[in-house]
Structure 1
């Protein structure tokens, strides 16, 4: 195992540092950035006693590939949330802009920030239209979500910082103020390598984990929630937010050549990975997932016609009957991404003195198999 499988760039522990086996083989960084070209950037906002929020940017082809569409699909397990741009994604089966994740009330300023950033890029800005993809989860337990602290320039900063390589996890970016299974949650990522005959591809997952009730938590097949039921401020008698509320956004990336419908099929497998961590899908949790393929570059772009001549595009894709290993990779990577978000997060105190405890790693480890 590589060092990056065990700790984040800042030295926070990842789940594999506990020595608990998980199935499948991750890529070098065990992150969505193992998919060639994919970059991730953050803006983290921690100010005073009441601001615990931020913005996450995922660029499917990095900055150099801005505007080059990817085959894509999406799925909603529960629609109590938002992901902009999905009607156009459904129409065309393609994704060209970055994918942004933030808090519920920051969708508007982040959307504006993406447009501001793209139109400043070279070559010349697009002459048609921009439909940014911005998703959200609710961080109002720890952060002053009504205070409009996220501004367009914070989205720009996240985009500017996007890079490949190891990815920070836990209390960073859009995940800064998020909670998961009654513990501090946030940003998490993982990957799996998939063999396809003589070829090898990567499936990467990124989660903004803000979902699940403590009693549900299951780790590596062990139902640990009841054993870790103490120290749960979010389920105190005077708290009105129901257990399990909050939402989760999941982004799946792969370099395997897939059709848009196959990307949607990957997105539909995300709930199976989440279920392995215990959730049953709360009514008050917006659970929305997007998957894209970076293969077939040059196809699926949508632009005004420049000529009257006939134009055609071609797509190379994995046969539908060979998709099962990619489905399995999604399930495994999503499960581990949630576990990484939990183990990397730190105890956080936010607005009105509200506290979200980090999962106690020593106690957790004692409940799990070697």
Structure 2
């Protein structure tokens, strides 16, 4: 098992901007979701075995990603939140409560499709150990997934509650590792090796600079759809695409090229209410579309956005005898007629996060020697005209 070190590290591989890809907007200093103050990201990665698939034994290419909106110490203090599902062939738990009250107060985990239960249990165990006072009431963790069964022994039960707890314990501020780590380890995107990507944008509002950050677990898109900086790269790159063969599923099934899923988490420190956060989540598909996808029926495309601006106690739990609990409260809110700046920042950050997930990656061989090829940097730079 590969765990995250005490201080987060980044891959030495280049990111999208390093290849000269023309991308819009001004990034934060890390160009990551952790540019939003307080946000922490952690991983547990599991890469074991090679060769033929034996369910329960491997090969294993999977993991867990964890995101704390306010860091581990801020769990329980809610963030305004909203969500949007472009296509519901996937899972993100805890959404009914977010729809009801417009708040998120739990950490977020992302893993593979058949690991949602293990992550859900792991988060509850972690909460009991680290925030027992909060665990006295109900807990509705946010656990999301995409399918990694092309490379991973997905039915083998390799993701455990302990792995989810380890990812939560590993969460840190600072640079975020991208590519084949955490929940993104076994994922594919546009017929290339996919996984995790992140990006951020700085938005000026009056005398204040706010940040919008995006984190993507990218496992979606057909090869011929891939578009980079307006160029139909997927149609022009000469790399074999074994994922779109008709017989790898070992049944008489044709797996459509757009199959998979994508989970996107958007964070901001701008004072947005729940409806405005939902507006950000609804703009995520526009960022994905800039990379080419048309949204497959066989892809679970589910998005969550939250604001860390109003940092106070929860007002949705059981009432207390404290007189403060009887007081009317007020919060700041961005004017609706200035929201377009934040919509644009979301679109551009999501686009770049997907491209980072592709560019940072390397070729991976998984179960039954299935190959997920890396996006070829040299060919791409020739198409873009950015070769030195």
1:158-237 equivalent positions in 2, closer than 5 A: 158-228=167-237, 230-237=239-246
1:302-313 equivalent positions in 2, closer than 5 A: 302-307=316-321, 310-313=326-329
**Structure 2: distance between partners of 1:231 and 1:94:** 45
Matched, 1:345 2:356: no
**Structure 1: distance between partners of 2:382 and 2:315:** 51
> Quick check: 1:185–1:345 contact (8 Å CA) kept in 2?
yes
**Structure 1: distance between partners of 2:277 and 2:385:** 34
Secondary structure of the residue aligned to 2:155 is: helix
Match of 1:96 in 2: 105
> Quick check: 2:223–2:234 contact (8 Å CA) kept in 1?
yes
Against the structure 1 CA distance between its residues 369 and 300, is the aligned structure 2 distance closer, same or farther, given a 3 Å change threshold?
Answer: farther
**Structure 1: distance between partners of 2:219 and 2:312:** 36
Match of 1:292 in 2: 306
**Structure 2: distance between partners of 1:179 and 1:229:** 17
Aligned pairs, number: 363
Quote how far apart the aligned CAs of 1:228 are.
1.7
Q: Which runs of 5+ in 2 are unaligned?
A: 1-8, 51-58, 249-253
Quote how far apart the aligned CAs of 1:221 are.
1.4
**Structure 2: distance between partners of 1:206 and 1:106:** 19
Secondary structure of the residue aligned to 2:109 is: strand
1:1-370 equivalent positions in 2, closer than 5 A: 9-49=10-50, 50-122=59-131, 124-228=133-237, 230-239=239-248, 240-298=254-312, 301-307=315-321, 310-370=326-386
> Quick check: 2:189–2:219 contact (8 Å CA) kept in 1?
yes
**Structure 1: distance between partners of 2:361 and 2:21:** 18
> Quick check: 1:214–1:229 contact (8 Å CA) kept in 2?
no
Match of 1:4 in 2: none
> Quick check: 1:44–1:54 contact (8 Å CA) kept in 2?
yes
Q: Which runs of 5+ in 1 are unaligned?
A: 1-7
**Structure 1: distance between partners of 2:314 and 2:340:** 25
Secondary structure of the residue aligned to 1:118 is: helix
Q: TM-score, normalised by structure 1?
A: 0.96
**Structure 1: distance between partners of 2:167 and 2:269:** 23
> Quick check: 2:11–2:360 contact (8 Å CA) kept in 1?
no
